[in-house]
């Protein structure tokens, strides 16, 4: 009798394990990146913070956003992800409305007007737009079904993000976020469409446009008619020639990377953060990581991001349905594209454009909405049965 009861309890326990899955590996990676980000943020921003009377000024603000984000992440992780399908259209419309509200109600910081205040909190509508685009496209692609394979369906999905991308670019003057939003859409479309020839043509067309733009800008260099972005292209090609202008930040970042060597100068020992490198705690924090922790520290962080992407792929491949898989793919695209662009900017691989390093750079809106997205991924993961892994 006792053996029978033990066997029944064991079967119930095994059944419960099959019905419940939580990706603790994904959670650990995210928590580690957050903790590392807070440490590096304090190390990087303490000098600038002391100019405002508190070396921990930026750390305290980031910690507040992180705590709120973690709470939101756990709440979202325990909500069935299909619940958010009902808000897909609302997310798309809300993104447009919030971006337009910047025109009359937005406030400027660091020379850019990209934020609005909602209930006492500073919100960057571009971050809302990224999440809204993931929800809307996941829902749209599922409803389109096989029509996604037609040329018309392909173009419809490709054109959906264009209004928001243009608004983000023109209203907030944030081209990097516009690129990320469009990149998220392309990746989600790529996963759901079996015709890869269209993506090859799309990629070639994109490369051709970029090459043509650079060629035109170089030939207009002496005309004096170039705008801010044109000057950034020239500074990217020859930063030394623009050392006192648009190339200054890039050169200081490269100095930081080069002086770090293999093992770095040591945590807190950066020289470039002492007023030499503008926005060190924001877009350029990766260069301070290289300076203080060296090539070893930089590669270690990049490996953590690779592990994070791998966990996304595991969850997406084992998701219960296409909607859940597309949600995870959208979040994966958001983080992967942002990491690649940030590192590329810091190393002068691409022209300088303001973009943060996920979970590490200073930015309350960014970390808050990233953690909400992680909560959605964990929710999708909870629908996976252990026997399916």
> How far is it, in rounded angstroms, from Cα 214 to Cα 234?
8
pLDDT, one tens digit per residue, over 269-309 is: 888 888 888 878 888 999 999 999 999 999 999 999 999 99
Pick the more confident residue, 227 or 15.
227
pLDDT, one tens digit per residue, over 129-164 is: 999 999 999 999 999 888 888 888 888 888 999 999
Half-sphere exposure of residue 113: CA atoms within 13 angstroms, side-chain side: 13
Contacts of 376 (CB under 8 A, 6+ apart): 76, 77, 81, 84, 327, 328, 331
Task: Give residue 353's pLDDT band: very low, low, confident or very high (50, 70, 90).
Answer: confident
Half-sphere exposure of residue 69: CA atoms within 13 angstroms, side-chain side: 23
Task: Give residue 386's pLDDT band: very low, low, confident or very high (50, 70, 90).
Answer: low
pLDDT, one tens digit per residue, over 42-74 is: 999 888 888 777 888 899 999 999 999 999 999
> How far is it, in rounded angstroms, from Cα 86 to Cα 90?
8
> How far is it, in rounded angstroms, from Cα 244 to Cα 240?
9
> Is 26's pLDDT higher than 90?
yes
Task: Give residue 359's pLDDT band: very low, low, confident or very high (50, 70, 90).
Answer: very high
Structure token pair of residue 174: 């944030």
Instruction: Give all strands of the β-sheet with 107-109 in edge-to-edge order.
Output: 107-109, 112-118, 121-123
> How far is it, in rounded angstroms, from Cα 178 to Cα 199?
19
**Residue 273 near residue 280, CB atoms below 8 Å:** yes
């Amino acid at each position: 009798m006792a053996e029978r009861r033990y066997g029944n309890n064991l079967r119930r326990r095994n059944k419960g394990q099959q019905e419940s899955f939580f990706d603790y590996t994904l959670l650990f990676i995210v928590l580690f990146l957050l903790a590392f980000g807070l440490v590096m943020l304090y190390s990087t921003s303490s000098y600038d913070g002391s100019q405002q009377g508190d070396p921990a000024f930026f750390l305290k603000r980031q910690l507040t956003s992180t705590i709120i984000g973690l709470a939101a992440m756990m709440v979202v992780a325990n909500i069935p992800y299909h619940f958010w399908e009902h808000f897909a259209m609302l997310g798309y419309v809300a993104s447009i409305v919030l971006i337009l509200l910047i025109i009359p109600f937005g406030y400027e910081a660091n020379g850019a007007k990209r934020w609005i205040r909602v209930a006492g909190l500073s919100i960057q509508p571009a971050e809302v737009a990224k999440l809204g685009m993931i929800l809307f496209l996941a829902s749209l692609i599922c409803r389109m079904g096989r029509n996604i394979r037609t040329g018309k369906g392909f173009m419809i999905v490709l054109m959906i993000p264009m209004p928001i991308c243009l608004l983000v670019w023109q209203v907030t003057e944030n081209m990097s976020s516009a690129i990320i939003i469009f990149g998220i859409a392309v990746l989600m479309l790529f996963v759901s469409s079996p015709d890869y020839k269209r993506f090859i043509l799309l990629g070639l067309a994109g490369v051709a446009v970029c090459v043509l733009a650079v060629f035109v800008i170089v030939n207009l260099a002496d005309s004096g008619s170039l705008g801010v972005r044109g000057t950034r292209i020239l500074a990217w090609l020859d930063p030394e020639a623009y050392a006192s202008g648009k190339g200054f930040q890039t050169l200081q970042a490269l100095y930081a990377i080069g002086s770090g060597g293999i093992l770095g100068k040591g945590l807190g020992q950066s020289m470039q953060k002492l007023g030499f490198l503008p926005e060190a705690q924001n877009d350029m924090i990766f260069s301070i990581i290289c300076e203080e922790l060296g090539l070893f520290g930089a590669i270690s962080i990049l490996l953590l991001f690779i592990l994070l992407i791998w966990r996304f792929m595991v969850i997406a491949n084992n998701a219960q349905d296409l909607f859940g898989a597309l949600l995870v793919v959208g979040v994966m695209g958001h983080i992967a594209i942002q990491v690649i662009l940030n590192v590329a900017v810091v190393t002068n691989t691409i022209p300088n454009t303001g973009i943060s390093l996920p979970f590490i750079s200073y930015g309350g809106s960014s970390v808050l909405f990233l953690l909400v997205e992680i909560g959605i991924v964990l929710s999708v993961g909870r629908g996976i049965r252990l026997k399916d892994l």
